[in-house]
Amino acid sequence: MLIAIPEVLDAEGVARLRAIIDAADWVDGNVTSGPQAALAKRNQQLPEDAPATREAAAMVLDALGRSPLFFAAALPLKVFPPLFNRYAGGQDFGLHVDNAIRIQRGTEFRIRSDLSATLFLEDPQAYDGGELVIEDQFGPQTVKLPAGHLVLYPASSLHRVTPVTRGVRTASFFWLQSMVRDDGERRTLFELDGAIQSVAATQGQGDAAVVRLTGVYHNLLRRWADA
């Protein structure tokens, strides 16, 4: 399932986060690459253990915690601390797949990467290229969102970032382990949750059908989730 989560950060939040990361020291993006990704990746990145990375990551995690749509779509169990990258001057990231297991350096924290996320931190008019292209069952899906918007997609998918030929593409990226491992099951729960919210908006949360559908949702979650 590929879904855009709008306004995870508002304009003020984006500006505050950018002030932190833009003033930091950036390094070659391959510091977090696996052997295959290193052959395709050309960008810059903030070091995982940099104070600016930790401060900005905390801001992103706090914003995610305030997004009901993000929770409904991801059903997150564990979130890898957000990282930050930027592309300029023709830099790109060729077709690749994310590692199945992500380990935070210097710690015992690890996740199974069920979902990948990109939080755009630059408005699309400010740079040319830099589209996130995700291969799915319907063919390539091209994503380039406004600053503060996030895209969530299966970490198992092949994806790439096209060359940035003007300006700078700045973003946060991270991975999630969902309570529901299977993408099809997550999609079913997300669509059911959306339908329940739509009916509840017109009929009220106490409506008998809403109560029954809510029970179905939670029984499916109980069946499929690992928590």
Binding residues: 96, 98, 159, 169
Q: Which residues are annotated as a binding site for Fe cation?
A: 96, 98, 159
Rounded distance between C-alpha atoms, residue 122 and residue 206, angstroms: 42
What SS3 state is found at 120?
strand
> Dihedrals φ, ψ of 135, to 5°?
-85, 125
* Two tokens, residue 50: 């940099």
Q: Which two tokens stand for residue 1?
A: 């399932």
Tokens 């409506």 correspond to what residue? 207
Radius of gyration over every alpha carbon of the chain, rounded to an integer in angstroms = 18
Looking at the chain, how many residues does it have?
Answer: 227
Angle at 22 between CA 17 and CA 25, to 5 degrees: 125
Instruction: Show Cβ contacts of residue 152 under 8 Å, excluding neighbours closer than 6 positions.
Output: 1, 2, 3, 4, 5, 70, 73, 74, 115, 116, 117
Q: What distance in Å separates the CA atoms of residue 9 and residue 86, rounded to the nearest whole number?
A: 18
Tokens of 131: 């589209």
- DSSP-derived 3-state class of residue 205: coil
In the annotated binding site for 2-oxoglutarate, the residues are 169
